[in-house]
Amino acid sequence: MIRSVLIVDDEPGIRDILRAELEFHKYMVKEAENGEQALKVTKSFPIDVVISDIRMPVMGGKDFLKKIKEQAVVFPAFYFISGYPDLTLEEAMALGARGLFKKPFQLKELVKKIVDDFTLQGSLK
């Protein structure tokens, strides 16, 4: 079972919506408003899944993904969300992400993708 999810987005409303849905499904949720804060969270807590915006002040999602890949002992499953055409799904996957959801995304679709990926693989690791 997925135990922990880190939501990284500079929009508090997006974090609130995702947190509420994921907590409803019994996941432990951590939040950060940019990649720099998110790196600190990953050093303090074991994270199974990251849902990250691409464009954020201080450190965006692509840079966060690169840094977490360099620093993490165990690399969490990573999903991008974005309101801009920054990346294609193929480009996101080439960076190491498992998915890309365009804002406004369908909340249930995003959660289903994470759960389905986990179920199909038996583990997100």
pTM for this prediction: 0.89
Please report which confidence band the pLDDT of residue 90 belongs to, taking 50, 70 and 90 as the band edges.
very high
Query: How many angstroms separate the CA atoms of 26 and 19, rounded?
Result: 10
| 42: Cβ contacts below 8 Å, ≥ 6 apart | 6, 50, 68, 71, 72, 76
Taking residues 37-62, report their average pLDDT.
Answer: 93
| Fold annotation for 4-121 | Rossmann fold (3.40.50)
The answer to whether residue 123 scores a pLDDT higher than 70 is no
